[in-house]
Structure 1
Amino acid sequence: MDKLEMKLIYIFMALLGGVGLSIQAAIINSRLSAGMGNQPIVATLICFTIGGLCLLIFAFSQADWHSVHNNIALQPWWRWIGGILGAGIVFSSIFLAPQLGVANTMFLFIIGQLVAVMVIDGLGLIQMPVRSIYWWKFVSMTIMCVGLILFMFSGRWFK
């Protein structure tokens, strides 16, 4: 496969990931929370338990455990908080989707992600290479924020 084909596959995978996040937040996890007596923390626990079991099965069959054993103690503390962040994201999506609507929740997540990655890229945080932030990225972010405002509130303004 050439680079363009691989890039298209990666774009498609990212789009499918976005679809999966929306389905997970709207249909699956928030409905699970409702079925558990409107307890998003319980739904998050169930989600992570099932996901963890699936990952455990895959890891036992796929991982190079010798390499893991040799490198696990060498990791800096901040590399261990991904699970906490993941749990917070899943909890937030479960809690917020029924409150704000799935589309608004996902749109806000996207804006938050873009702001964070602009800072991470611009400053080279978390051992990432520095990538220049050009003026058009700020313009693009402004347009997206205006789009978010229109998306969330236009139904109230244009009835």
Structure 2
Amino acid sequence: MIFLYGVVLLAGIANAVQPGQTTQLARSLGQPFTAGLVSMFVGTAGMFAIGLLSGHLTVPSLQQAGQTPWWAWIGGLVGVGLLLAQLFVAQRIGAAPFLAILVTAGVATSIALDHFGLVGFEVHAAGPMRLIGGALMIAGVTLVALS
């Protein structure tokens, strides 16, 4: 289990670094949308290669495709929204406020997703400790964003 927390820790670090990489690519190429496409292509190629190397890349059957909720198919568009925010917002407001708002919004949303068991998550009640933790994150992001 500790290994999984380590993986999430690395993902959090990557989440802080990626906006700078993406906006630098946009500066170098002179066009944010081109940089976004390059970033998405490199990510797609990376997922393809990892899937092939791991032996876990398959094409879904028609039955699997038909049983999948419609909203599960458009997750990549969420990634596009995040990429656009990186390209057009992160450099303007700074890395710390950008990531603080991003993570805090994610935690607040996650509390609701868990509480109601939405988008495939198991139900985990939003008890007092989770709500206090979310409120503290909102207070923290306010301090980071205003300084």
Q: Could you list the per-position Cα deviations for residues 67-121 of structure 1 after superposition, in whole angstroms to 9, with x for gaps in the alignment?
A: x235234322111011111111122122221111111111111011011111111
* C-alpha displacement of 1:51: 1.3
CA distance in 2, matches of 1:72, 1:17: 29
Q: Could you list the per-position Cα deviations for residues 46-85 of structure 1 after superposition, in whole angstroms to 9, with x for gaps in the alignment?
A: 100111122223333422536x235234322111011111
Number of the residue aligned with 2:78: 85
Cα separation, partners in 2 of 1:116 and 1:109, compared to 1, 3 Å: same
Pairing 1:45–2:12 present: no
Q: Match for 1:135 among 128, 132, 137?
A: 128
Number of the residue aligned with 1:72: 65
Indicate the larger mover: 44-53 or 132-141: 132-141
CA distance in 2, matches of 1:57, 1:148: 37
Question: What does residue range 28-39 of structure 1 map to in structure 2 within 5 Å?
Answer: 28-37=21-30, 39=31
Return structure 1 stretches of 4+ with deviation > 4 angstroms. Answer: none
Q: In structure 2, give the amino acid aligned to 1:63.
A: H
- Decide whether the 8 Å contact of 2:19 with 2:87 is kept in 1: yes
Question: What does residue range 9-24 of structure 1 map to in structure 2 within 5 Å?
Answer: 9-24=3-18
* C-alpha displacement of 1:11: 1.2
Q: In structure 1, give the amino acid aligned to 2:134.
A: M
Number of the residue aligned with 1:59: 51
Look up the SS of the partner of 1:129 in the other structure: coil
Question: What does residue range 119-130 of structure 1 map to in structure 2 within 5 Å?
Answer: 119-130=112-123
CA distance in 1, matches of 2:100, 2:22: 18
Look up the SS of the partner of 2:121 in the other structure: coil
Q: In structure 1, give the amino acid aligned to 2:46.
A: C
Q: In structure 2, give the amino acid aligned to 1:30.
A: T
Task: Compare CA radii of gyration and give the structure with the larger one.
Answer: 1
Over the matched positions of the two proteins, sequence identity in percent amounts to 22
- Decide whether the 8 Å contact of 2:97 with 2:145 is kept in 1: yes
**Unaligned regions of 5+ residues in structure 1, if any?**
1-6, 155-159
CA distance in 2, matches of 1:140, 1:64: 38
Number of the residue aligned with 1:157: none
Q: RMSD value over aligned CA atoms?
A: 1.8
CA distance in 1, matches of 2:138, 2:86: 20
Q: In structure 1, give the amino acid aligned to 2:83.
A: V
Indicate the larger mover: 12-21 or 137-146: 137-146
Q: Match for 1:149 among 138, 142, 145?
A: 142
CA distance in 1, matches of 2:106, 2:99: 10
